[in-house]
């Protein structure tokens, strides 16, 4: 399958990587010289999509933070598949490491993540990449899919109404290149105490504020100090009101739609999304407030930022 990848003649071993929800087939490569690489393989029908993803990764690679760096891109398996070869970010999954750390370190790493995210969002958009419409319609369509499903949870009407009444709060910012799945599960804690960024396959162009709702989905259950640090640093410790307004809409919508989204992955993942949705309802007091009760300025004050 991989013999037509030029670099494969220097590979010593190929090991499947099963982590994550991506449809890509992923492999950890070890070269004859001991270097580790990440190989992502997709169906050839995704060639143009993956070519654009690789081009965006090349843009991100110039921003000066540790990440899966681009190595090569092309077709393999006799033209049946498209591949991208990336550098391997050595370290431990940040989502596993954060709960073991002192709160001060959790907050520091959150700030580092916020600074990296701000760099990603700083890349000037190419003219042909500027979206012609917002995602307001898509978000409402997704919400409708949840509404018509048999997966609805108790007291969901308040969140449904909140999204419909406030959908105009999202996509008010100039669009940016996004990571698309930015949370501790896609960050690596490296030996020097810094963060490396991986898994750009959900990249998109859109509202920078949309990048934050996954703190509620996948961050708060691991480390509240990290989540606060990411928000604080991204905004230079001056968080605008319109961020909280937009973020609450994203959280309400994602809390419900994620339950429907998880359906193909099985009951365990559905149950996980239901649990997270119920937590979000509590954090936002049934979406009667826009700043979640886990966000306070105490970490910034405590750790001298």
CATH number given to 92-302: 3.90.1200.10
Q: What is the pLDDT of residue 21?
A: 63
Q: What is the pLDDT of residue 64?
A: 95
**Domain range summary for the chain, segments of one domain joined by +:** 6-87, 92-302
6-87 is classed CATH 3.30.200.20? yes
73-84 per-position pLDDT tens digit: 999 999 999 999
Only one residue has tokens 């709702």, namely 213
Residues composing the chain: 305
Residue 19 burial by Cβ neighbours in a 10 Å radius (0-12, 13-18, 19+): exposed
Give the separation between CA 48 and CA 105, rounded to whole angstroms: 41
84-111 per-position pLDDT tens digit: 999 999 999 999 999 999 999 999 999 9
Q: What is the pLDDT of residue 126?
A: 86
Element holding 245 (H helix, E strand)? helix 241-261
Give the separation between CA 137 and CA 30, rounded to whole angstroms: 45
Element holding 177 (H helix, E strand)? strand 176-178
Q: What is the pLDDT of residue 105?
A: 96
Give the separation between CA 224 and CA 212, rounded to whole angstroms: 13
Q: What is the pLDDT of residue 24?
A: 85
Residues of the chain with pLDDT under 70: 20-22, 304-305
Q: What is the pLDDT of residue 302?
A: 85
pTM of the model: 0.93
Give the separation between CA 305 and CA 290, rounded to whole angstroms: 24
229-243 per-position pLDDT tens digit: 999 999 999 999 999
């Amino acid at each position: 399958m991989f013999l037509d990848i030029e670099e494969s003649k220097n590979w010593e071993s190929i090991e499947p990587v099963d982590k994550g929800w991506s449809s890509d087939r992923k492999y950890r490569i070890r070269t004859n010289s001991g270097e580790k690489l990440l190989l992502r393989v997709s169906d050839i029908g995704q060639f143009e999509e993956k070519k654009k993803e690789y081009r965006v990764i090349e843009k991100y690679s110039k921003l000066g933070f540790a990440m899966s760096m681009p190595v090569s891109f092309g077709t393999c398996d006799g033209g049946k598949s498209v591949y991208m070869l990336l550098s391997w970010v050595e370290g431990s999954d940040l989502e596993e490491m954060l709960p073991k750390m002192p709160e001060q370190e959790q907050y520091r790493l959150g700030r580092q993540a916020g600074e990296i995210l701000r760099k990603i969002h700083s890349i000037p958009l190419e003219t042909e990449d500027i979206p012609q419409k917002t995602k307001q319609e898509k978000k409402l369509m997704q919400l409708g899919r949840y509404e018509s499903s048999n997966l609805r949870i108790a007291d969901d009407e308040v969140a449904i109404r909140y999204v419909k009444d406030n959908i105009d709060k999202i996509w008010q910012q100039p669009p940016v290149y996004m990571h698309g799945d930015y949370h501790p599960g896609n960050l690596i804690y490296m030996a020097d105490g810094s963060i490396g960024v991986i898994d750009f396959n959900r990249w998109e162009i859109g509202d920078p504020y949309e990048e934050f709702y996954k703190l509620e989905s996948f961050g708060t259950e691991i480390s509240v100090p990290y989540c606060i640090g990411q928000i604080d640093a991204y905004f230079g410790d001056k968080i605008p009101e319109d961020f909280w307004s937009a973020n609450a809409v994203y959280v309400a919508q994602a809390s419900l739609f994620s339950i429907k989204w998880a359906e193909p992955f099985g009951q365990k993942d559905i149950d996980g999304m239901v649990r997270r949705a119920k937590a979000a309802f509590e954090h936002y007091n049934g979406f009667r407030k826009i700043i979640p009760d886990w966000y306070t300025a105490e970490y910034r004050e405590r750790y001298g930022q």
